[in-house]
Chains A and B, each alone.
Chain A
Amino acid sequence: MSTSYTRRGFLGLTSAAALGAGLSACTGGGASTGGGATQGASNNLRLFTYEDDSTIGLLKAQVKKFDEQNGTTTTVDSLPGSGAAVYPDKLRTELLGGKGPDVWRIWGGQIGSPFAKAKQALDLSKYYDKYGWDSKINTAAIGGMTFDGVKSGVPFLALGVGAWYNKSLFAKAGVSAPPTTYAELEAVNDKLVAVGVTPCGLGGKYGWDIMRLFEYLLEHTAGPDLHDKLLTGAESWDRPEVVEAFTLFKKWQDKKWLPQGALALDPADVEPWYVQGKTAYTITGPWTEAAAILAAKKSSAAFGNFELPTDKSPARHSGFVEGYMINAKSGNADKAAALIDFIVQPATQKAMNITASTVKGAEPDPKTLPLAAQWSQKYGNNPFYTIQDQAFPKKQADQYFSVQSDLLQGKVAPDAASKKMQEIVSAWAKS
């Protein structure tokens, strides 16, 4: 059937039937967009984010500065610690309720994509021209928030994921320097297990954390070109490189290089384990310095980071972007864009301690965040592959996590897992 309806139209119609014409008029049956009509212009803005306690104060201080300069009043609401599994739901509900924020923070790729495709996020092309963001912001990062050719977001963070380790546990295992090849990494894992230390702390609840290991293994076995093609469905997953990656993935669990029962562990619990001395390292990004190391009142000097060795050229790590979108129904789009422009100024980024800014001149301060600065200097310019939970839509990402789960439980063999992945990706690519 091809009849098309608008959600508001239906709501209006049924309201009229149920409650009479007077009440239906209140619900606005004639509007053609979800979540209510365009809000009126005012000096009040609302920004929705997922900053945690360690960073929300810095953001609020900068927003206050913007308000003072522009005569606006901006409310900052945050849903900390929820991750990409919950935050987009809350945002979506707010938008459909007609009281969505004027500006919201969001991840790029397939997490931000639905908001752009549903036209809940404003096309920001004219603001890109007005503020010259194209020349100020990292081009690859802008690509991560461009959907079907429409620039729907302004990236301010381009985060790389690597290994963050506890130096004392490496020393306990007799490891004096980070590994530079995959074979060396495996040798490090063996040495750590031999002294009773679990090497890599990752949690499988939600799927996305333990996925960071598999995507690294896939980069190691498939290499950059093939990996990129696999993510878009341009090449079949049913191939030896993928089977090898799944085989290695299982090996990491079987050799106890992952915590026991990793599949059930919550990433929020497991990630700080390397700081607490329960695991030797984890796979995470530069935010961990503020969120795990400094929050635990530990010295950054006791920890280190390194890019996971892929043995491939160019050396790449997993990465993703985060940025801001503007509500398509906001009556304050100009002021919202001005707020975003203020946020992506190098001075603001530095004041907010942004660890991997997309803006030149906002590199992390080595005095306050030495490890983030070190990562930025050593690996910040290396290319990255799209983190896999942003490469696939949520449904396909969950199916993919399910395959990983079955593999680690021994319910499917690596070759069957590869075939299953091919079914999932090809079905998505065709849709």
Chain B
Amino acid sequence: MATTVAVAKQPKRGGRWSPWLFALPALLVYVAFLVYPAVSSLWFSLTNWDGLSATYKFVGLDNYFKLPHDPVVVTAVRNNLIWTVVTIAVPTIIGLLLAIALNGKVHGKPILRLIFYTPAVLPLVSIASIWGWLYNPQYGAINSFLRLIGLDGLAQPWLGQDSTALWAVMVPAIWLRTGFPMLLYLAALQGIPNELYEAATVDGASKWQQFWHVTMPSLRPAHYIVLALSLIDSFKVFDMIYAMTYGGPGTSTQVMGTWMYFNVFQYYQAGYGTAIAVVITLVAIAVGIPYVRSQTKEAS
């Protein structure tokens, strides 16, 4: 006997506004602390505000038109590109190699993991000071070591000449940024089922083939996270440059972040400096979109 059960429709509490009500507190915080300052910045980039006076004038897109004619902007963009490529590629590759090494049968794994990750948790200003001393041309450990082993000719004023300054700042940046991809890759490697390697071994795959055809494809989600976060981190570069070289010698190690800071806070050209900030933001958004899209696709 068929029975018909009448299901009474329960009225939804709060109706279709419920999700919005729950999201409202977070949205308010987001609007107040992110959207509003961003809109303000956009506006100030269209003015000649000095960053200190009560009044300013609207100058339209003048600040943006000035950017390509500013020789320091050209230097800064070039430095940003070099910085981004090097400080993504090198720590990622070293991090992956360390993760693979630590995933094998290695004695003292927890201690090694700690050693490799420790730079990532040190305050950046401390790192900058430590490396500043290491690089000291007369008394620093690096040049002293080079002289000790008879390579006096290689001893350089590392931070004191245009040709080496940016590269010298990148070394500690690589040192401190290697621990993060190492941890992510290590976690991802531990999630790869052993059966895959066993099957590959049975099929006669060499270690090299296993790496390319089992390990690397399995690490794809980790690659996404490492690359996206490293990319954003690289674009934000400011503190290492500021603390180690102050953008010098001259302006040779200026990046967009420091040049924005110099204009807004030191040269009393807040309008122009904010235009630089807007450009940095737009570029960061543009390169971040593929990551967000990939994450959204995965989630759906």
Residues of A with Cβ closer than 8 Å to B? 1-8, 10-11, 14-15, 18-19, 32-34, 85, 88-89, 92-93, 95-96, 114-115, 117-120, 198, 204-207, 259-266, 269, 278, 393-395, 398, 401-403, 405-406, 409, 411
Q: Are A260 and B138 in contact (CB under 8 A)?
A: yes
Give bound CA distance, A419 to B240, whole Å.
33
> Interface readout for B144-175 with A: 1 if CB under 8 Å, 0 if not?
00000000000011111110010000000000
Q: Are B250 and A406 in contact (CB under 8 A)?
A: yes
Q: A205-B159, A264-B161, A393-B267 are in contact. List 4 more A-B contacts (CB 8 A).
A: A2-B57, A14-B36, A18-B35, A405-B249
Query: How many whole Å from A330's CB to the nearest CB in chain B?
Result: 16
Pairs across A and B, CB under 8 Å, 8 listed: A4-B55, A4-B56, A14-B43, A120-B52, A261-B137, A263-B160, A264-B135, A269-B136
B269 CB contacts on chain A under 8 angstroms: 395
Query: How many whole Å from A109's CB to the nearest CB in chain B?
Result: 15
A19 CB contacts on chain B under 8 angstroms: 31-32, 36
Query: How many whole Å from A406's CB to the nearest CB in chain B?
Result: 6
Q: Check if B211 is an interface residue, CB within 8 A of chain A.
A: no
Give bound CA distance, A331 to B161, whole Å.
50
Q: Interface residue count for B (Cβ, 8 Å)?
A: 47
Q: Are B246 and A7 in contact (CB under 8 A)?
A: no
Would you list which residues of chain B between 128 and 142 have a CB under 8 Å from chain A?
132, 135-139
Query: How many whole Å from A284's CB to the nearest CB in chain B?
Result: 19
Q: Are B52 and A5 in contact (CB under 8 A)?
A: no
Supposing A114-B50, A405-B250 touch, asked if A11 and B40 sit within 8 A by C-beta, the answer is yes
Contact of B251 among A260, A262, A402 (CB under 8 A): A402
> Interface readout for B248-268 with A: 1 if CB under 8 Å, 0 if not?
111110000000001001111
Query: How many whole Å from A276's CB to the nearest CB in chain B?
Result: 10
**Number of interchain pairs (Cβ within 8 Å):** 146
A265 CB contacts on chain B under 8 angstroms: 136-137, 160
Q: Are B52 and A34 in contact (CB under 8 A)?
A: yes
Q: Are B266 and A261 in contact (CB under 8 A)?
A: no
Query: How many whole Å from A329's CB to the nearest CB in chain B?
Result: 10
- Closest partner residue, chain B, to A31 (CB atom): B54
From B51, B52, B132, residue with most partner A Cβ within 10 Å: B52
Q: Are B43 and A259 in contact (CB under 8 A)?
A: no
Give bound CA distance, A118 to B161, whole Å.
37
- Closest partner residue, chain A, to B157 (CB atom): A261
Supposing A14-B40, A264-B157, A264-B159 touch, asked if A405 and B52 sit within 8 A by C-beta, the answer is no
Q: Are A95 and B52 in contact (CB under 8 A)?
A: yes
Q: Are B52 and A259 in contact (CB under 8 A)?
A: no
Q: Are B39 and A409 in contact (CB under 8 A)?
A: no
Q: Are A409 and B249 in contact (CB under 8 A)?
A: yes
Q: Are B52 and A114 in contact (CB under 8 A)?
A: yes
Q: Are B55 and A263 in contact (CB under 8 A)?
A: no
Supposing A260-B137, A264-B249, A394-B266 touch, asked if A7 and B58 sit within 8 A by C-beta, the answer is no
Supposing A5-B47, A5-B58, A264-B135 touch, asked if A118 and B265 sit within 8 A by C-beta, the answer is no
Q: Are A115 and B52 in contact (CB under 8 A)?
A: yes
Q: Are B132 and A266 in contact (CB under 8 A)?
A: yes
Query: How many whole Å from A8's CB to the nearest CB in chain B?
Result: 7
A393 CB contacts on chain B under 8 angstroms: 267-268
A395 CB contacts on chain B under 8 angstroms: 266-267, 269
Query: How many whole Å from A272's CB to the nearest CB in chain B?
Result: 13
Q: Check if B178 is an interface residue, CB within 8 A of chain A.
A: no
- Closest partner residue, chain B, to A89 (CB atom): B265
Q: Are B268 and A114 in contact (CB under 8 A)?
A: yes
Give bound CA distance, A405 to B159, whole Å.
12
Contact of B245 among A92, A205, A394, A403 (CB under 8 A): A205
Give bound CA distance, A185 to B153, whole Å.
31
Q: Check if B180 is an interface residue, CB within 8 A of chain A.
A: no
Query: How many whole Å from A192's CB to the nearest CB in chain B?
Result: 15
Q: Check if B60 is an interface residue, CB within 8 A of chain A.
A: yes
Supposing A7-B49, A92-B51, A395-B269 touch, asked if A204 and B249 sit within 8 A by C-beta, the answer is yes
- Closest partner residue, chain A, to B47 (CB atom): A5
> Interface readout for B194-218 with A: 1 if CB under 8 Å, 0 if not?
0000000000000000000000000
B262 CB contacts on chain A under 8 angstroms: 398
Supposing A92-B265, A118-B50, A263-B248 touch, asked if A5 and B39 sit within 8 A by C-beta, the answer is no
Give bound CA distance, A7 to B36, whole Å.
14
B246 CB contacts on chain A under 8 angstroms: 85, 205-206
Q: Check if B296 is an interface residue, CB within 8 A of chain A.
A: no
10 tightest A-B CB contacts, nearest first: A261-B157, A261-B137, A264-B160, A264-B159, A402-B250, A118-B52, A261-B160, A263-B160, A405-B250, A395-B267
Q: Are B250 and A3 in contact (CB under 8 A)?
A: no
Q: Check if B53 is an interface residue, CB within 8 A of chain A.
A: yes
Query: How many whole Å from B211's CB to the nearest CB in chain A?
Result: 42
Give bound CA distance, A395 to B268, whole Å.
9
From A7, A15, A33, residue with most partner B Cβ within 10 Å: A7
Q: Are B31 and A18 in contact (CB under 8 A)?
A: yes
Supposing A205-B246, A261-B157 touch, asked if A3 and B39 sit within 8 A by C-beta, the answer is no
A204 CB contacts on chain B under 8 angstroms: 160, 248-249
Q: Are B157 and A263 in contact (CB under 8 A)?
A: yes
B160 CB contacts on chain A under 8 angstroms: 204, 261-265
Contact of A4 among B57, B139, B157 (CB under 8 A): B57
Supposing A7-B49, A92-B265, A395-B267 touch, asked if A264 and B55 sit within 8 A by C-beta, the answer is no
- Closest partner residue, chain A, to B139 (CB atom): A278
- Closest partner residue, chain B, to A91 (CB atom): B52
- Closest partner residue, chain B, to A3 (CB atom): B58
Query: How many whole Å from B170's CB to the nearest CB in chain A?
Result: 15
Q: Check if B125 is an interface residue, CB within 8 A of chain A.
A: no
- Closest partner residue, chain B, to A406 (CB atom): B250
Give bound CA distance, A95 to B40, whole Å.
18
Give bound CA distance, A307 to B247, whole Å.
32
B250 CB contacts on chain A under 8 angstroms: 401-403, 405-406
Supposing A14-B40, A118-B52 touch, asked if A394 and B267 sit within 8 A by C-beta, the answer is yes
A2 CB contacts on chain B under 8 angstroms: 57
Query: How many whole Å from B157's CB to the nearest CB in chain A?
Result: 2
Supposing A1-B59, A405-B249 touch, asked if A411 and B162 sit within 8 A by C-beta, the answer is yes
Give bound CA distance, A402 to B72, whole Å.
11
Q: Are B266 and A89 in contact (CB under 8 A)?
A: yes
Give bound CA distance, A260 to B135, whole Å.
12
Query: How many whole Å from B50's CB to the nearest CB in chain A?
Result: 7
Q: Are B57 and A3 in contact (CB under 8 A)?
A: yes
Q: Are B165 and A264 in contact (CB under 8 A)?
A: yes
Query: How many whole Å from B53's CB to the nearest CB in chain A?
Result: 4
Give bound CA distance, A1 to B266, whole Å.
25
